[in-house]
Homo-oligomer: A and B are copies of this chain.
Amino acid sequence: MRLSDAIEQFIKTMLTQTEQEVELKRNELAEYFNCAPSQINYVLATRFTPDHGYIIESRRGGGGYIRIFRMEQDTSEQLLYLLHERVGDSISALEASHLIMQLHERELVTPGEAAIMQAAVSPSALSLPISTAMKDALRAKILKSMLLEVARKVKQ
């Protein structure tokens, strides 16, 4: 069996029905599997992305860690759809606004959160001397970043 598959299984075993979050130390895990620490990053990058329904959070330095959160299935599907099909690499102000309204309607965010999201991607927030295309690309990045955060909260 491939090393990467073994590491993937190991992590997924820790993420059970009840445990939707796991914290690990990169170096410890690497030592346990007797591989390069960067191998852990490879596994995370190829099997624990938002696309797969996971959110990663980490911290360097003494007492550093890597935390993996598993998104709820229906939530993750909804958000992945939003992330890929509707946001993509570029999104207009109007489309973004509609999308945020729908998040609210589906109760994935509170009214207050929706209002803040609207404010963050509003035309006035992004009034810069750049092309509309650049703005749409920027808006997509900001929106996706916020959506990932929403996803992280929903599972908790």
By secondary structure, the A interface counts as helix
Contact B150 A125 (CB under 8 A): no
Q: How many chain A residues have a CB neighbour from B under 8 Å? A: 34
Report the minimal beta-carbon distance from A88 to chain B, rounded to whole angstroms: 15
Residues of B within 8 A of A117 (CB): 116, 120
Contacts of A150 in B (CB 8 A): 116
Check B146–A138 contact: CB distance below 8 A: no
Q: Which residue of B lies closest to A129 (CB)?
A: B134
Which of A2, A126, A146, A152 has most B Cβ within 10 Å?
Answer: A146
**Contact among B115, B142, B148, B149 with A153 in the assembled complex (CB-CB below 8 Å):** B115
Task: State the copy count for this chain.
Answer: 2
Chain B residues near A63: list those with CB within 8 A. Answer: 1-2, 5
Contact between chains at A125 and B112 (CB < 8 Å): no
Q: Is A122's beta carbon under 8 Å from chain B?
A: yes
Residues of B within 8 A of A5 (CB): 63
Jot down 24 A-B pairs with beta carbons below 8 A, ordered by A.
A5-B63, A109-B112, A110-B110, A110-B112, A112-B113, A112-B153, A113-B116, A116-B116, A116-B117, A116-B146, A116-B149, A117-B120, A119-B145, A119-B148, A119-B149, A120-B146, A124-B141, A124-B145, A125-B141, A125-B146, A126-B138, A126-B142, A128-B138, A138-B138
